[in-house]
């Protein structure tokens, strides 16, 4: 997996660069291991800087409509300037740390529709930047996150899609400039709901879990009780019946509003 391309700003006879990931399956708080291979061309050349980073495709409000924007949310510089001799091969290994807030892109071995997360490689050549293609990574849930996801599946919810939203959720530990929303279709017993949106915002100890109901048109207007935020420890989540917890919240709100 990786990209291999002629460095455009180097012109004919220039070096080619390929990024290879050792393992494409990662979890938040983990490390992506890989290497950047620089193959010298027909002339000696100087690469002034080399870096790798993580990038996500984010929805950004743009006037009357939302637009997609690729945002790099962590970056690792790989040493200083590098002289590439004609025909020589330079291999630069790296270990890129995955932020705890990194969005999930794969659940139970299946890609989560709407997610585009991957490693980018950037070269600085003669004071110009040359960015490569995206090397996708599969970001799997942490065990605590998987427990919440399993609860939704146990209740009969189905995955709809996911997206990244530019902005900040108040009163959370959020540090990235965006957050993920995972959307579920509800089962028949929650007939008044259109969907439920789930957000995880984690650090190395615990995570904020944000749930929001989206009612079907024609029902009573939503109130603050259609939004729920709570904290879950990354290492002490097993003692809670999460399916029961979520069902109770849905039943309480829906019952008061005659949604179901």
pLDDT for res 220? 40
Residue 63 to residues 71, 75, 167, 257, Cα–Cα distance (Å): 19, 29, 15, 34
Contact predicate 104/198, CB 8 Å: no
Q: What is the pairing mode between strands 138-139 and 25-26?
A: parallel
According to DSSP, the β-strands at 158-166 and 16-21 are: unpaired
| CATH number, domain 4-139, options 3.40.50.720, 3.50.50.60, 3.60.20.30, 2.60.40.640 | 2.60.40.640
Give the 3-state secondary structure of residue 53: strand
**Percent of the chain topping pLDDT 90:** 61
pTM of the model: 0.87
Q: List, for residues 229-253, the tens digit of each pLDDT value.
A: 999 999 999 999 999 999 999 888 8
Instruction: Convert the pLDDT of each residue in 137-165 to its tens digit.
Output: 999 999 999 999 999 999 999 999 999 99
**Could you report the per-residue pLDDT of 26-38, keeping only the tens digit for each?**
999 999 999 998 8
Query: Residue ranges per domain, the chain?
Result: 4-139, 143-256
Please name the residues in contact with 54: beta carbons below 8 A apart, sequence gap of 6 or more. Answer: 32, 72, 73, 74, 75, 96, 98, 99, 102, 117, 118, 119, 120, 137
The residue ranges of the chain whose pLDDT is under 50 are 1-12, 217-224
CA 163, 236, 164: angle at the middle one, nearest 5?
10
């Amino acid at each position: 997996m990786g990209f291999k391309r002629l460095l455009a700003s180097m012109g004919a006879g220039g070096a080619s660069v390929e990024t290879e990931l050792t393992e494409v399956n990662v979890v938040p708080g983990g490390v992506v291991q890989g290497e950047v291979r620089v193959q010298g061309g027909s002339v000696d050349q100087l690469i002034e800087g080399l870096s790798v980073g993580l990038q996500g495709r984010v929805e950004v409000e743009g006037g009357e409509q939302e637009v997609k924007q690729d945002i790099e949310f962590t970056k690792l510089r790989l040493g200083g300037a590098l002289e590439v001799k004609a025909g020589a091969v330079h291999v630069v290994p790296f270990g890129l740390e995955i932020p705890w807030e990194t969005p999930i892109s794969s659940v139970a071995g299946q890609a989560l529709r709407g997610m585009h997360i991957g490693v980018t490689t950037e070269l600085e050549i003669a004071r110009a930047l040359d960015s490569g293609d995206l090397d996708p990574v599969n970001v799997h849930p942490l065990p605590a996150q998987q427990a919440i996801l399993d609860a939704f599946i146990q209740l009969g919810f189905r995955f709809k899609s996911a997206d990244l939203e530019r902005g900040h959720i108040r009163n959370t530990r959020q540090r990235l400039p965006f957050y993920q929303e995972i959307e579920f279709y509800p089962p028949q017993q929650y007939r008044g709901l259109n969907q439920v949106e789930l957000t995880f915002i984690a650090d190395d100890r615990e995570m904020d879990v944000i749930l929001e109901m989206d009612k079907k048109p024609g029902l009573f207007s939503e109130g603050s009780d259609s939004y729920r935020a709570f904290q879950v420890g990354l290492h002490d989540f097993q003692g809670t019946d999460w399916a029961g917890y979520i069902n109770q919240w849905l039943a309480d709100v829906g019952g008061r509003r005659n949604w179901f």
